[in-house]
Structure 1
Amino acid sequence: MHISNIELLNFLDSTLSPEKIKDFCPNGLQVEGKTNIKKIVTGVTASQALIDQAVEVDADAIIVHHGYFWKGEAPSITGMKKNRISTLLKNDINLYAYHLPLDAHPTLGNNAQLAKRLDIIDVLPIEDCSPQNIVMKGRFAEPISPESLHQKIEKSLSKTPLFESATKQQINTVAWCTGGGQGYIEQAANLGIDAFITGEVSEQTIHIAREMNIHFYAAGHHATERYGVKALGEYINSQLGIETTFIDVHNPA
Structure 2
Amino acid sequence: MNELNEIVARLDHEFQIETFGKDISFSRFIPTVYDPLKFGWKNTFEEKFVELFNGLMLRGAPHVEKVFLAVFPTDSVLERFIEESKEGDMLFMHHPLLMECGDPKGKWGKGFVPIKEKYITQIKEKKLSVYTCHIPMDCHKQLGTNIAMARALNATIINSDDINNEFVLYCEVEKTNSEELIAKLKEIFEIPYVDFEGQIQNEIQKVALVAGCGDVVDWMVEAEKNGVQAYISGEIHCHIDNEYGKQKFKSMMDFASTTSMSLIGVSHAASEFLVLKTLMRKWFEHNFHLETVLIAQEKWWY
* TM, length-normalised to structure 2: 0.73
User: Aligned partners of 2:276 and 2:189: how far apart in 1?
Assistant: 15
2:91 counterpart letter in structure 1: I
Change (3 A) 1:223 1:248: same
Kindly indicate whether residue 137 of structure 2 is the aligned counterpart of residue 102 of structure 1: yes
User: Aligned partners of 1:68 and 1:166: how far apart in 2?
Assistant: 34
User: Aligned partners of 2:265 and 2:226: how far apart in 1?
Assistant: 20
User: Aligned partners of 1:149 and 1:46: how far apart in 2?
Assistant: 30
Report the more deviating stretch, 120-129 or 107-116.
Answer: 120-129
After superposition, where does 1:1-253 map in structure 2 within 5 Å? 2-21=1-20, 23=23, 24-25=25-26, 26-59=53-86, 60-68=89-97, 80-124=115-159, 127-130=162-165, 133-140=166-173, 142-159=174-191, 160-166=193-199, 168-183=201-216, 184-200=219-235, 201-202=237-238, 203=249, 204-230=251-277, 231-253=279-301
Displacement of 1:164: 2.0
Contact 1:45 1:66 survives alignment (8 Å): yes
Displacement of 1:209: 2.9
Contact 1:54 1:62 survives alignment (8 Å): yes
Contact 1:126 1:137 survives alignment (8 Å): no
Structure 2 gaps, min length 5: 27-52, 100-113, 239-248
Q: CA RMSD in A?
A: 2.3
User: Aligned partners of 1:97 and 1:247: how far apart in 2?
Assistant: 15
Structure 1 gaps, min length 5: 71-78
Contact 1:150 1:163 survives alignment (8 Å): no
2:169 counterpart letter in structure 1: M
User: Aligned partners of 2:122 and 2:70: how far apart in 1?
Assistant: 16
> Could you report, residue by residue, the CA deviation over 1:81-104 in whole angstroms, capped at 9, with x for unpaired residues?
312211211111110000112222
User: Aligned partners of 1:163 and 1:219: how far apart in 2?
Assistant: 9
* TM, length-normalised to structure 1: 0.87
| 3-state DSSP of counterpart to 1:216 | strand
Displacement of 1:167: 6.1
* Structure 1 segments of 4+ aligned residues over 3 angstroms from their partners: 125-129
Displacement of 1:45: 1.4
Contact 1:9 1:29 survives alignment (8 Å): yes
| 3-state DSSP of counterpart to 1:177 | strand
User: Aligned partners of 1:242 and 1:119: how far apart in 2?
Assistant: 28
Change (3 A) 1:32 1:173: same
Which residue of the partner structure matches residue 110 of structure 2?
none
| 3-state DSSP of counterpart to 2:7 | helix
